[in-house]
């Protein structure tokens, strides 16, 4: 049984930082593209950042470029999202997903079976 668990969300002030973590277990192998997505109330879910299984390719939404950094540890099947200089518009529920599809211009859940965590809330106060 695959389990995806996120942690690290919370309440911060504008300009603050948070580090989200995601651990996936039960996958047949650890070589998976993984990603972070978010959904704010009344808005569609969007891809925030994704990373290839090798770590050599990454995608960032324009709104977070230069502020967020994605990284992963294949041995531990763990994914992180370092979020700096947070803004009120970053407020959302953040979800981890595996596997994902990524390119230079987008990332999304894979067309085949994919797994999502329960989400971790990030709230940035102004």
Q: What is the mean pLDDT of the chain?
A: 95
Give the tens place of pLDDT for each residue, 19-35: 999 999 998 888 899 99
- Distance between CA atoms of residues 87 and 46, nearest Å: 16
One-character DSSP codes across 24-37? EES-S-S---EEEE
- pLDDT confidence band for 5 (50 / 70 / 90): very high
Give the phi and the psi of residue 90 in degrees, each rounded to 5: -85, -5
Give the single-character DSSP code of 88. Answer: G
Closest by CA position to 123, among listed 5, 6, 13: 13
């Amino acid at each position: 049984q695959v389990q995806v668990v996120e942690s690290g969300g919370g309440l911060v002030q504008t300009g603050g930082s948070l580090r989200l973590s995601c651990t996936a277990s039960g996958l047949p192998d650890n070589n998976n593209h993984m990603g972070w997505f978010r959904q704010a109330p009344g808005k569609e879910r969007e891809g925030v950042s994704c990373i290839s299984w090798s770590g050599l390719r990454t995608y960032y939404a324009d709104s977070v470029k230069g502020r967020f950094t994605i990284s992963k540890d294949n041995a531990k099947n763990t994914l992180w999202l370092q979020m700096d200089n947070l803004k009120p518009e970053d407020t959302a529920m953040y979800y981890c997903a595996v596997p994902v599809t990524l390119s230079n211009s987008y990332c999304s859940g894979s067309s085949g079976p994919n797994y999502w965590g329960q989400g971790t809330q990030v709230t940035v106060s102004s």
